[in-house]
Amino acid sequence: MLPVADTQLIQIVDAATADAALRAGSWLLCRKGCTQCCVGVFAITQLDALRLRQGLAELEIADPARAAAVVERAQQSVSRLTPDFPGDPTTGLLDGSAEDSFDTFANEEVCPALDPSTGTCDLYAARPMTCRIFGPPIRSQDGVGVCELCFQGASEQEILAAELNMDWSDLEDSVNAEAERASGQSETTIVAFALLR
């Protein structure tokens, strides 16, 4: 079960992302059907994994056929990823240094939540944090990064004017710690493995 505070966290993150998108204007090309960010694996937290599983459980009630298709795509993905998985394929948990291998691991693997016929996410409301914030400029220890499709030709000032305000980090850490206690796991995983647990 998801921590109660996850609802508040999602509201804050979605509002901040909407604000950044508004400030980005036409520089932000993220639209329904754009699947650039749906290709390639990335680490997700136990909170993200719980949210995805809850979203899948809700989809199983609302649209069993779509849910079954998500599960089938996840099973196929896990089958392809298992031989080179940088972690324990039995549990789906990544090794501590696994994210370092993402530069070369499964860069062409399509997210199992992506419906290939519509180009939309079947678990959009339950999507991981990385998916929620992808697109607008994001500051990290390496500087400010943007989606390679967005902000083409934009000046540094235009990019910085649309920077995502990520002041929810403490709340996210707290809610994720609660999810880790509930799951008994603190390691990260990836979407395909999370959906099958």
Q: Using N-to-C axis directions, what is the helix angle for 64-81 and 46-62, rounded to 10°?
A: 140
Low-confidence ranges of the chain (pLDDT < 50): none
Question: Which range of residues forms the domain containing residue 83?
Answer: 5-195
pLDDT of residue 120: 95
Asked if residue 121 lies in contact with residue 114, where contact means CB atoms within 8 angstroms, the answer is yes
pLDDT of residue 104: 80
pLDDT of residue 32: 84
Closest by alpha carbon to 185, among 72, 92, 57, 71?
Answer: 92
Number of domains in the chain: 1
